[in-house]
Amino acid sequence: MKIERANILVVDDEFGMREGIRRLFEAQGHRVETAETGRNGIDKGTAEEFDIYFLDLKIGDIDGVEVLGAIKAHFPEAICVICTAYASIETAVETTRLGAYNYIAKPFAPEEIQLVFDRAIERRWYILEARQLRAEQERRLLEITQEKSRIRTIINSIADGIVVLNQDEEVVLFNPQFPRLLELDKELVIGRSIREVLPEPYQELIADIFRQKDSLQALQQEFIIHPPAKLVVMANTTTIRDDQNRLIGYVSVLRDISELKQLELLKSQFVNMAAHELKAPLTAIQGFLEMVVDKTLGDEPETYDNYLRRSLERSKTLITLINDLLNISRIQAGKIRREIERLDLSQQAHSAADFFANEIEKHELTLETEFADGLVIDADREEIQRLLTNLISNAIKYNRPQGSVTLRTSREKGYARLDVSDTGIGMKPEEKERLFEEFFRAKNPHTRSITGTGLGLTLVKKIVDSYAGRIEAESEYEKGTTFTLYLPLAER
Amino acid sequence: MSKKILLIDDDIDIVELNRALLTMAGYEVVTAFSGAEGLEKVVAERPDLVILDVMMSTVGEGFEVARQIRKNQEIRHTPILMLTGVNREHPFNLRIGPDVEWNPVDSFIEKPVQKEVLLAKVNAMLQDN
C-alpha cells in the first residue's frame, strides 16, 4: 500500500518553497518537478499525470485556482494540495469545490507537509488501485463479450439448425438456421417457451424428451414438416447436465435430410422396378419349363420347341439385365476403373459391326457403312464397345426383314459424330420421349415378341454423359430410328 | 358351346402359356397385349371371363382397365380375374368386389401363377355364372 517513487509537481513562484519541498521529498526517493509560473505549471501539469500536485494559490501571472481548474480538467482524479499564505475558509471551500484534495497554510513545518503528503499519497494509491481494477474488469468484460460473439459466430455459421432450451422448455440460444429449417411462422424469442412456436411433430418430440427426462441421454428422430416428404428433418437432441449430473437443459440439432429421403425413395423405386423386371422373364421361363416337364400339351417333343426357344431367349435377357444392372450401379458408384486410350471411332464402329455380321444376316438385313478418317477420341475401349453394341443390336432387333442398318461417322465442331440408323418399326413421339428412362420399353404390336431389358439405352446415355458427350434420337413410327452420338475429339 | 376367355397381359410369353393351358382345358381363348386393346376386345368378343394382369406398361394399368369395364353398361357384368405380383411389392390395398371402386375385380391370384390354381379358379368362376 505504498507508492515507492511518487511523481510530484510543485507550482510556486517562491524559490524557497520549491526547493524546500524538492529537497524534502527527493531525499525520500520521490521525483519532484517544479514550475515557477502558473502558465509553466499548467503546461507541465497537464503534459503528464503526477501523483501529487502542490499548488500555490498566489502566483505572479495566473491565479492558482485557474491552474487547479486546468489540471483537474485534464486529470479529474489528480490529487492537488493547495499551499497558501492567505488561507481562509472561502479559498478552502472554493478550491475543494474545484476538486482540491487538501490544503495547507503557509508557512508550514516539514512534518506538517509530510503529514499532508502521506495522507495524499495513500489516497492516490487507492485511486490507482481502483483504476487498475476497473481496467482489469473492463478487459475481462471485453473478453467475455468477445468469447460470446465468437461462439455466436461459430453457431451461426453451422448449416444445421441449433436450439438450446432450459429445463422449463424456454429458448436460451438458437441460430438463424433453426427457425428457417422448421419454416416457423412465429418469431422465436429468447426466454419464451419453445412450444408456442413449434409445429406439431416437433412439439411431440419435445414432449417425448420431457417424459424421459431423467434417463434420457440423446434422442434421434425424423419428422416431416411438409408432407409428403417434401421437407424431412432429422433432430438430434441431447440433455445438458451440470457437474452434479442434474438436468439443466437440452440442445437440439436439426438437419435437413429431405434430399437423402428423396434419394432413398428413388432407390427403392429402382429396386422395385428391377425386381419386377427380373421376375417377369423367370415367370415365363418357369411356366414354359413346367409345361415341358409335365408334358401338359402331350408327348410330341416338337410341340415344345417354341417354348424352349422362348425360354432360352428370356434367360439371355435375364443375363443381359443383370449385367446392365451391375454396370449401372458401377457407373453410379463411380467404381469404374477406366483405361483411357486413343481410339479411332470409325475403327471401333467397324469392329462392333463385324461382331454382328451373323446376326445381321440372320435377320435378312443389309449393313451400310460410311466411315470418316481421323476421328480420335480418348475413351475406354470396353465402354465404347458396349455403347456401340447396344445401339447396333437395337437397330437389328427393332428392324424389319429386308431392312438395313447404317453406321456413319463424321466430324462436327470438335466432336466425333456417329449415326446408327435402322429402317425398322420406329417410335411414337410419346415413346421417344421416355426412351432413356430406366426400364422403359416401347409397347406396341411390333415390339411384343422382342426381348429387352429396358436398361440398354439408359446405360448408353450414362456412358455418353460421362464422356461429356451427348446422344439424340430421331424417329418416325413404322419408318425407322436414327441415334446420333457426339463424343469430344481428343486434343492433339 | 365352350366358354370364351380374354387374356390381357403385355408379356407375350405369359399370354402364350395361359392360352395353351386354357385351350387345353377346353376354353376358347382370345388375347390382348395392352389395356386399350383389351377394352376393345371385351366389347367386340364379349368374353365370359377376363383374365387381367395388373402391371402392364405402367404400374396399375390393370386397375384402370377393370374400372373402365365396370363403367361400360354393355360389359360391366363381365367377371374379372386379376393376376397380381404387386401385392407384396406395392402397398396397394387390394379389396375385391364389383362395388369396390378402386379395384373392382371379382377375384385375384398372386403371381407366379401355378397352372392348377389358375385352372381351378377359372373353372369355379365360370361355373358360378
Bridge-partner residues for A380, per DSSP? A340
| pLDDT for A63 | 81
Residue corresponding to grid cell 417410335: A427
Nearest Cα of chain A lies from the Cα of B17 at a distance, in angstroms, of 7
Helix, strand, or coil here: A199? coil
Identify the sign of the CA torsion B126, B127, B128, B129: positive
Please tell me which residue of chain B has the smallest CA distance to A275: B89
User: How far apart, in whole angstroms, are the C-alpha atoms of residue A30 and residue A7?
Assistant: 6
DSSP per position, A48-105: S--SEEEEESB-SSSBHHHHHHHHHHH-TT-EEEEEETT--HHHHHHHHHTT--EEEE
User: How far apart, in whole angstroms, are the C-alpha atoms of residue B122 and residue B120?
Assistant: 6
Is the entire prediction scored with pTM above 0.80?
A: no
pLDDT in tens, B16-37: 999 999 999 999 999 999 888 9
Residue corresponding to grid cell 413404322: A478
User: How far apart, in whole angstroms, are the C-alpha atoms of residue A81 and residue A116?
Assistant: 8
Nearest Cα of chain B lies from the Cα of A284 at a distance, in angstroms, of 6
| pLDDT for B25 | 92
Query: What letter would DSSP give residue A194?
Result: G
**Residue ranges with strand state E in A175-246:** 218-226, 231-241
User: How far apart, in whole angstroms, are the C-alpha atoms of residue A18 and residue B53?
Assistant: 121
> Which residues in A have their CB inside 8 Å of a CB on B?
272, 275-276, 279-280, 282-284, 286-288, 290-291, 296-297, 307, 310, 314, 441, 443, 445, 448-449
Nearest Cα of chain B lies from the Cα of A232 at a distance, in angstroms, of 21
pLDDT in tens, A430-474: 888 888 888 888 877 778 778 788 888 988 998 899 899 999 999
Looking at per-residue confidence, does B107 or A33 come out higher? A33
Instruction: Give the count of beta carbons closer than 10 Å to the beta carbon of residue A361.
Output: 11
Chain B residues whose beta carbon lies within 8 Å of the beta carbon of residue A441: 57
Q: B49, B6 in Cβ contact below 8 A? A: yes
Residue A294 dihedral angles phi and psi, to the nearest 5°: -80, -5
| Sequence-distant (≥ 6) Cβ neighbours of residue A427 within 8 angstroms | A435, A442, A473, A475, A477, A481
Q: How far is CA A347 from the centre of its chain?
A: 48
Of A275, A314, A443, the CB nearest to B34: A443
**Overall domain count for chain B:** 1
Q: Is A13 exposed, middle or buried, given 0-12, 13-18 or 19+ CB atoms closer than 10 A?
A: middle
Residue B46 structural domain: 4-128
User: How far apart, in whole angstroms, are the C-alpha atoms of residue B38 and residue A80?
Assistant: 114
Predicted confidence (pLDDT) at residue B103 exceeds the cutoff of 80: no
- Chain-chain contact of B12 with A445 (C-beta, under 8 angstroms): no
| pLDDT for A245 | 82
| pLDDT for A147 | 85
pLDDT in tens, B55-82: 766 666 788 888 889 888 888 889 999 8
Size of interface A-B (CB pairs under 8 A): 53
Q: % helix / strand / coil in chain A, to the nearest 5? A: 45, 25, 30
When scoring B13, B14, B90 by the number of chain A Cβ atoms within 10 A, the one with the most, hence best to mutate, is: B13
Q: Is B75 on the interface with A (CB under 8 A)?
A: no
Instruction: Give the count of beta carbons closer than 10 Å to the beta carbon of residue A244.
Output: 6
Helix, strand, or coil here: B40? helix
Bridge-partner residues for A79, per DSSP? A52
Rounded alpha-carbon distances, angstroms, from residue A454 to A221, A436, B19, B109: 38, 9, 26, 27
User: How far apart, in whole angstroms, are the C-alpha atoms of residue A94 and residue A100?
Assistant: 9
| Sequence-distant (≥ 6) Cβ neighbours of residue B54 within 8 angstroms | B60, B61, B62, B63, B82, B83, B84, B85, B86, B108
Chain B residues whose beta carbon lies within 8 Å of the beta carbon of residue A435: none
| pLDDT for A437 | 84
The CATH number that applies at residue B118 is 3.40.50.2300
| pLDDT for A297 | 86
Chain B residues whose beta carbon lies within 8 Å of the beta carbon of residue A280: 11
Nearest Cα of chain B lies from the Cα of A366 at a distance, in angstroms, of 28
| pLDDT for A422 | 94
| Residue-range domains of chain A with CATH | 7-133 (3.40.50.2300), 159-256 (3.30.450.20), 262-333 (1.10.287.130), 340-488 (3.30.565.10)
| pLDDT for B59 | 62
Of B12, B55, B112, the CB nearest to A276: B55
| pLDDT for B91 | 45
Q: A395, A422 in Cβ contact below 8 A? A: yes
Q: What is the mean pLDDT of chain B?
A: 82
User: How far apart, in whole angstroms, are the C-alpha atoms of residue A404 and residue A321?
Assistant: 27
pLDDT-based confidence at residue B110 (cuts at 50, 70, 90): confident
Please tell me which residue of chain A has the smallest CA distance to B32: A445
Of A287, A443, A449, the CB nearest to B17: A287
pLDDT-based confidence at residue B96 (cuts at 50, 70, 90): low
pLDDT under 70 in chain A at which residues?
1, 86-89, 201-202, 205-206, 209-219, 225-230
Question: Grid coordinates standing for A36?
Answer: 515557477
| pLDDT for A202 | 67
When scoring A448, A450, A453 by the number of chain B Cβ atoms within 10 A, the one with the most, hence best to mutate, is: A448
Chain B residues whose beta carbon lies within 8 Å of the beta carbon of residue A310: 13, 16
Choose the most confident range, by mean pLDDT, from A251-255, B1-5, B39-43.
B39-43
Question: Grid coordinates standing for B75?
Answer: 360389359
pLDDT-based confidence at residue B7 (cuts at 50, 70, 90): very high
| pLDDT for A328 | 82
Q: Is B89 on the interface with A (CB under 8 A)?
A: yes
Of A282, A314, A443, the CB nearest to B10: A443
| B78, containing H or E segment | none
Question: Grid coordinates standing for A215?
Answer: 434417463
Helix, strand, or coil here: B77? coil
